[in-house]
Amino acid sequence: MKFEVVVAKRAQIRIRQISEWYAAQSSSAGEKWYTGVVEAMLTLESNPERCERIPELAEHQFPYDFRHLLYGSGRRKTHRIVFLNSV
């Protein structure tokens, strides 16, 4: 089954800001990071359940199934993509 990935406007802005920050460090780094994070988000089309539920769910009673995908360029996962799993 294929799911639709919709990126919120605020997230789009933040992704662009982070990409620009990486580009200021190295011109190719910004493009590489942007491409990588978009590709990571698109993997949610096929299997969003593979990602764990956000830890905040244990502390609060959210009526929705929020999960997160950790992403980073390199060994460390430095960014968290929080999404609503609407299966």
* Residue-wise pLDDT tens digits, 33-79: 999 999 999 999 998 999 999 988 777 777 888 999 999 867 778 89
The model's pTM is: 0.83
Domains held by the chain: number: 1
Model confidence at 87, pLDDT cuts 50, 70, 90, reads low
Output the pLDDT for position 61: 76
For 20, the domain range is 9-84
Model confidence at 1, pLDDT cuts 50, 70, 90, reads confident
18 is written with which tokens? 């982070």
* CA neighbor of 67 nearest in space, from 82, 86, 87: 82
